[in-house]
Structure 1
């Protein structure tokens, strides 16, 4: 392979497997920062060695081994400079003697998620830490997902890492008796990972398929561990959304809204699996927010055309969801459904009420929906102002081009 081809292969492995490798290194090393340093050292070495020796049959195993040996070298240097630290010597000896196999790697990310969502950590740090360490999202991307400041998110992540180290929080999947109380944070993490893949917060592409694929994989693993209704609901929700992926963008990457999608492109197998999970979860009568959201997605998926969508049923499901989880974002989604049932003025009235309370002021979808209702009502100047505000808040290029197209159409 040429040097360029090797570099491209290294970049591909980093993109697809770096977080699995990092999770294994964290388990082996017991230290987030040391594992991250070892990860980057391993990939740096790979660029040189793979050009000379060829790409190994199992790049992931090679990278874990290389990272582990690089970490051992770091610890040896530290031990030489500070031989009085018995804990450091013990850590080095344990690492040198540790056995591991590639079979362990598959579950390491799930172990890492549960570690990051440990109840000893602050609730507002669990999800950002997991998104950063498990999914390689930047601090800025996480901050946008949380509508928060990057500096705030960074501080939470640093404090959480220190807590894991100092409290010696175990790197393991909880027992079945501990699992339910830890489940809410884990489900939230997996869904945020999926959302970042399904609709990227920034960048030139609408979606990041590797993130949605990984979130669904983690959801399936969790289903095997704990087949509870909300786990079923989350997996169903992700599958039903993922089924629309082929129809969400044009061949040149432009955004296509739900009403205008070619439904023959939707993945029928994912829809069937998702709907079956929804039915299975709802029959337990112990369902929660994820099941309700999945039920809404199932109503969309089962409609042969946009015009045949059962909007009264969707509004009713949003009513139940809003009572279970009061949220301005859910209110916004309900407003969009209500507008389909009762007309744009009904939806606009609800959104104006949300914004008047000071909520969702910096959420571009609120202003975009508001602009769309103004446009449908023929209030062109108000629609233009709302679209311009949405454009100011949008950092994803396909969404920006979509809004720019709407603005141009107003002219």
Structure 2
């Protein structure tokens, strides 16, 4: 399992072995379980992701792979300077993730090779991470100049027209720049999907696995991984940031040079969820990120008891059901509209706009004033009692004289 933290970020997946370059039928057959779990054939009758751009913030994507050819636009490399001059990036992890999102296969009818969740979507490759074997790996993860590559990559992807941003990467510490970049992306209607991380076998205080960023930022769809039984994979982080889950064990994908790989990790699960988000955005391009997330969660299957837990979130994503739920949500907005709707930016009941005066009261003075008031009240009652007694005595004396 890959796990490297520091200034840089870690790839949230591990590759197990290469498949022989041969039979593409074997490759597509290796995807059968995932295709069935996500109910992709049914979903594809509604959407295949056409017109949507998914930015893959990763180690780079091979645009010449036969299952991705024509669908990849190579964007900026934010790791430039970490590797020695003339070093070619391996782009293994990034190509793998891109194929799970938007692979279109090859050969007659595209029936060979990898088919992604959104096979008609486009990919924008944004390089923000180095593979472990690249010579600049150590410098990239220790040099402060690369600290905010993820934040810069997010902003770049948004400005380049991405509709969905896939981040199959993780790190333990968040930065202010990353938080601001995520807020910027959401304000532009971009859906962000990130890996929950692969530290699931390491507990924090015995209660949950460590939080991972950018997945743990509010507004990001944090994805956990499930095994073949659709239960939390042992490596998948489990904490309250997890929103949904997807298959993440024995996942077939493409690699550079027309190779095929099998691997496991929350990386793969994240790519699958990004593909489902692309299907939704293709059909409902104006749907806001919160409503896309709602469509993913409300349509999830294999829900845990009670509807949510920290292992698989609201359940396992289901592409066909997600599109159905998105259709129901498409007529809604995040805020109510109409003549009787109150604008939350304006004061209630016609009050004056402007700064609110906050009065700070000293609890000790309040206690003192209360005690004084109580004592004064008791004194007043005592005085009234004395006056009452004196008045009665005077009246009795007068009555005695009259007698």
Q: TM-score surpassing 0.5? A: no
TM-score range, shorter chain: under 0.3
TM-score, scaled to structure 2: 0.25
Q: Which has the higher helix share?
A: 1
Q: Which has the higher contact order (CA 8 A, sep 6+)?
A: 2
TM-score normalised by length of structure 1: 0.25
